[in-house]
Amino acid sequence: MAGEHDDQVGMGNVVAGYGKAIEVDSPYYLHLFDHPGLVFVTHLLTENGENYFTWRRNMMTALESKNKVGFIDNSVTKPNVNSQDFQPWVKCNAIVLSWLTNFLAKEIQSSAAYTETASELWADLHERFTQGIAPRIYELKQNIALLQQEKVPISIHYGKLKGVWGELQALNPIPIFSCGCTCRAARKMQSMGEADKVYDFLMGLDDTFTTVHSQILSESKLNVVDSFIISSLWHGRDIQWDYNPAIGTAGGIILMWNASSLTVKDIHHGKYSISVCFSNNLDNFDWVFTGVYGPNDDELRKDLWLELLEVQRRWSKPWCVGGDFNVIRFPYEKSGESDYSSAMVDFSFFVNDAGLLDLPLTGAKYTWTNNQRNPIMSRLDRFFISADWENHFKNVAQKALPRVISDHSPIILDVNSLRKARTYFKFENMWLENEGFIDLVKNCWSSCNFEGWPSFILAKKLKILKKQLREWSKVEFGNMNSRKSQIMTEIDTLNNKEEELLLSDEDSQRRLSLQLEFHQITKMEEISWRQKSRETWLKLGDENSRYFHMMASMKRRRNFISAIYVDNSRVDDLDTIKSKAVQFYQNLLTERFEHRPLLDGIRFNSLSPEKAANLESPFTEDEVWSAVKGCKADKAPGPDGFNFGFIHACWDIIKFEVLQFVNEFHGRCGVHNG
């Protein structure tokens, strides 16, 4: 019965003993099997202490599992002798002391025999075996300063740093203050150490993570930001910055950029954002970046959406928006969430109204956690870009970096991240709009004469045609954007001229010609983007080019494979991804054993000779054309790069070779190889 013995222990949630109930989460709680001879760690602390730090770390882990660390770090102090906690403390201290002593070499045990408390023995061991560690601490700090990413994955780079940090912490732990003062010295020292880790991590990253196209956006809880703080985050002579100060517990925003790459044309401070209009020094491209720290209130978020839409109207330029929005767009962006909320709907309405692209996130599913035992995780941080911003900064992707100390993951926006493989020929439907296209195909086709199997002749002619189409396309369509700019400039000049005096017939005709050419170019661009987007359900029209462009960009990002998992290990090297994919399908399509069932003696129903002859008769031209005509022109091309749009338009030119090839296939039940 509980309470009969003063030293009773048990396995329930509450244990009675020493005149009061002891909760399971109390440091005085002892499990039924917590006895002095318990096996705690796998190795003894050697006489010379060469394994001290490993032993210390293992012992700390074991004591943490028993909730007894307080007896060695002095956070559970010895109570007054009249306190109800005195006897539980005495017993727990004795057990912890025995656990420590049992895992010391015999030579050390003799000197520890007269130690009265576990904390005293722990401190004595630390003092004895950490003499002369200054050279090792210096070496570790030097290693941290020199450690660079050197093109290895960020997770590996972070793992190396974490190992050095762990050893450094073991060698030089933050002291425990047991004086009960309110100066919060330990917390300040802990905060300084965590900040140092952030600086170590940032300074070791490759240059690709500090380019101006991958803006560093930092959430700040500072009322004042000075150049010293900025230089600790991003050191450089040309680094410029601006910020919104923190208000109360709400974080502020620091925005930094490299002035050698970007020129600031204008800056706008909002209540929840900072926006900077930049001009690239390299190509004079103007664009806007907005850093966001969203409010954690549904009504205030509506003010944020209005504020951002006003930013968009202010400049009407290519736009990139990023930061902590403090809200998710979809239920799957929060762990345990299943229903849409009005805040999610408002967020999506803003994204659609602003015409922004929501980039997929790699590296993590969520960007924030509450760091609890059963954590709540959400995707609160993200970048959005406009279609015209992506049109300039190709192959954009956002990636979550490892969380070091913050409850948020850093997010990096990287350009040219979709690594380009070898480009293959693909027929462009917009070529059909060019007046010279049919003549080009006709001349090329008639000038090529080969001998051999029909399949060989058709393949050779298509190969020659590919080469000529590539060269022709570069001349006819290679500079459409610059030509559009020239046309617009010339039309604008004529319009201004008309405001002063009447245009001559020649100028009027010239303007009409330019307008027709401009319309033709935009039409061909729309055809091209529609083909790339595969959005064939929507008809062509002047208002749809932007939509096709956005869908094509989304399709390209969706189809890009940034990483695969092989045997539960992540692989993100492009060459390795290719080889593993080939290996997978080779194994899938390789027959491991040969087994053929015997059909001897089984009779099947058969066709009459007349029906069989009709079924096996050669294909007619009408049958072939009917099959070709039934295939949609917008479908993806085959391995040769030609789609049915080409075959439809050029049927009269190529049909002889195609029919010969079909007859070869029919007669030989296959095609000639080589």
Q: How confident is the model at residue 542 (pLDDT cuts 50, 70, 90)?
A: very low
Q: Is residue 190 classed as helix, strand or coil in its secondary structure?
A: helix
Residue with tokens 């991003």: 234
Task: Write the CA distances from 255 to 225, 232, 560, integer angstroms.
Answer: 11, 14, 30
Is the same domain home to 211 and 119? Answer: no
pLDDT at residue 365 greater than cutoff 80: yes
Highest mean pLDDT among 115-119, 318-322, 386-390: 318-322
By 3-state DSSP, what share of the chain in percent is helix, strand and coil, each rounded to 5?
45, 15, 40
Sign of torsion, CA 204 209 211 214? Answer: negative
pLDDT in tens, 87-128: 999 999 999 999 999 889 888 888 787 888 999 999 888 888
* Rounded CA separation 92/210 (Å): 53
Is 615 a domain residue?
no
pLDDT at residue 289 greater than cutoff 90: yes
Highest mean pLDDT among 208-222, 394-408, 438-452, 566-580: 438-452
Q: Tell me phi and psi for residue 548, to 5 degrees.
A: -60, -40
The rounded radius of gyration (Å) of the Cα atoms in the chain is 37
* Rounded CA separation 155/177 (Å): 34
CA dihedral 35, 37, 40, 44 (to 10 degrees): 150
Q: How confident is the model at residue 169 (pLDDT cuts 50, 70, 90)?
A: confident
Is 88 a domain residue?
yes
Is the same domain home to 127 and 246? Answer: no
Helix (H) or strand (E) holding 488: helix 480-500
Q: Closest by alpha carbon to 27, among 82, 74, 59?
A: 74
Q: Closest by alpha carbon to 174, among 77, 96, 76, 73?
A: 73
Q: How confident is the model at residue 303 (pLDDT cuts 50, 70, 90)?
A: very high
Q: Is residue 180 classed as helix, strand or coil in its secondary structure?
A: coil
Q: Tell how strand 239-244 and strand 564-566 pair up.
A: unpaired
pLDDT in tens, 7-47: 444 434 444 444 557 888 889 988 877 888 887 777 888 88
Count of domains for the chain: 2
pLDDT at residue 266 greater than cutoff 50: yes
| Contact by Cβ (8 Å): 380, 367 | yes
Helix (H) or strand (E) holding 218: strand 217-220
Q: How confident is the model at residue 214 (pLDDT cuts 50, 70, 90)?
A: very low
Query: Which of 107, 131, 155 corresponds to the end of one domain?
Result: 131
Q: Stretch 349-367: mean pLDDT, rounded?
A: 89
Q: Which domain holds residue 276?
A: 207-414
> In this predicted structure, what is the pLDDT of residue 451?
85
Q: Strands, DSSP E only, in 318-453? A: 319-324, 356-358, 361-362, 368-369, 377-378, 381-386, 397-400, 411-414
Q: What pTM did the predictor assign?
A: 0.44
Query: Which of 76, 111, 131 corresponds to the end of one domain?
Result: 131
**For the ranges 363-372, 527-536, 663-672, which has the lowest average pLDDT?**
527-536
> In this predicted structure, what is the pLDDT of residue 244?
86
CATH number at residue 236: 3.60.10.10
Is the same domain home to 277 and 404? Answer: yes
Percent of the chain with pLDDT over 70: 78
| Contact by Cβ (8 Å): 262, 294 | no
Is the same domain home to 280 and 403? Answer: yes
Annotate 133-155 with DSSP letters as a single string: -HHHHHHHHHHHHH---TTS-HH
Is 247 a domain residue?
yes
| Contact by Cβ (8 Å): 278, 262 | yes
Highest mean pLDDT among 146-155, 371-380, 533-542: 371-380
Q: Closest by alpha carbon to 382, among 370, 403, 366?
A: 366
Is 339 a domain residue?
yes
Q: Tell me phi and psi for residue 273, to 5 degrees.
A: -155, 160
Higher-scoring residue by pLDDT: 174, 438 = 438
Residue with tokens 């952030």: 198
Tokens, residue 26: 């109390």
Q: List the beta bridge partners of residue 17.
A: 20
Is the same domain home to 118 and 261? Answer: no
Is the same domain home to 223 and 119? Answer: no
Length of the chain: 674
Query: Which of 390, 414, 438 corresponds to the end of one domain?
Result: 414
Is 665 a domain residue?
no
CA dihedral 333, 339, 342, 345 (to 10 degrees): 60
Is the same domain home to 113 and 244? Answer: no
pLDDT at residue 346 greater than cutoff 90: yes
Higher-scoring residue by pLDDT: 598, 656 = 656
> In this predicted structure, what is the pLDDT of residue 6?
42
Is the same domain home to 297 and 406? Answer: yes
Higher-scoring residue by pLDDT: 566, 263 = 263
**For the ranges 82-86, 330-334, 477-481, which has the lowest average pLDDT?**
477-481
> In this predicted structure, what is the pLDDT of residue 354?
92
DSSP state of 176: P
pLDDT in tens, 234-261: 777 888 889 888 765 566 888 999 999 9
User: How would you class 55 by CB atoms within 10 Å of its CB: exposed for 0-12, middle for 13-18, buried for 19 or more?
Assistant: buried
Residue with tokens 């020929």: 425
Mean pLDDT of the chain: 79
Is the same domain home to 246 and 375? Answer: yes
pLDDT at residue 262 greater than cutoff 80: yes
> In this predicted structure, what is the pLDDT of residue 15?
45
Ramachandran quadrant class, 357 (left: phi over 0; alpha: psi -120 to 50; beta: rest): beta
Q: List the beta bridge partners of residue 243.
A: 254
Is the same domain home to 255 and 361? Answer: yes
Q: Stretch 144-170: mean pLDDT, rounded?
A: 75
SS3 track for 517-545:
HHHHHHHHHHHHHHHHHCCCCCCCCCCCH
Q: Stretch 531-539: mean pLDDT, rounded?
A: 49
Percent of the chain with pLDDT over 90: 24
> In this predicted structure, what is the pLDDT of residue 182?
43
**Within 10 A of 8 (CB to CB), how many other CB atoms are there?**
15
pLDDT at residue 527 greater than cutoff 70: no
Q: Closest by alpha carbon to 233, among 262, 264, 201, 206?
A: 201
Is 490 a domain residue?
no
Is the same domain home to 125 and 211? Answer: no
pLDDT at residue 381 greater than cutoff 70: yes
pLDDT in tens, 118-148: 999 998 888 888 776 777 777 778 888 788 7
> In this predicted structure, what is the pLDDT of residue 207?
63
**Within 10 A of 402 (CB to CB), how many other CB atoms are there?**
16
SS3 track for 89-133:
HHHHHHHHHHHHHHCECHHHHHHHCCCCCHHHHHHHHHHHHCCCC
* Rounded CA separation 254/324 (Å): 12
Is the same domain home to 116 and 223? Answer: no
* Rounded CA separation 397/390 (Å): 10
pLDDT in tens, 641-653: 888 888 999 999 9
> In this predicted structure, what is the pLDDT of residue 416?
62
Q: Stretch 558-572: mean pLDDT, rounded?
A: 73
Tokens, residue 530: 């529609």
| Contact by Cβ (8 Å): 369, 375 | yes
User: Crossing angle, helix 505-533 and helix 480-500, to 10 degrees?
Assistant: 150
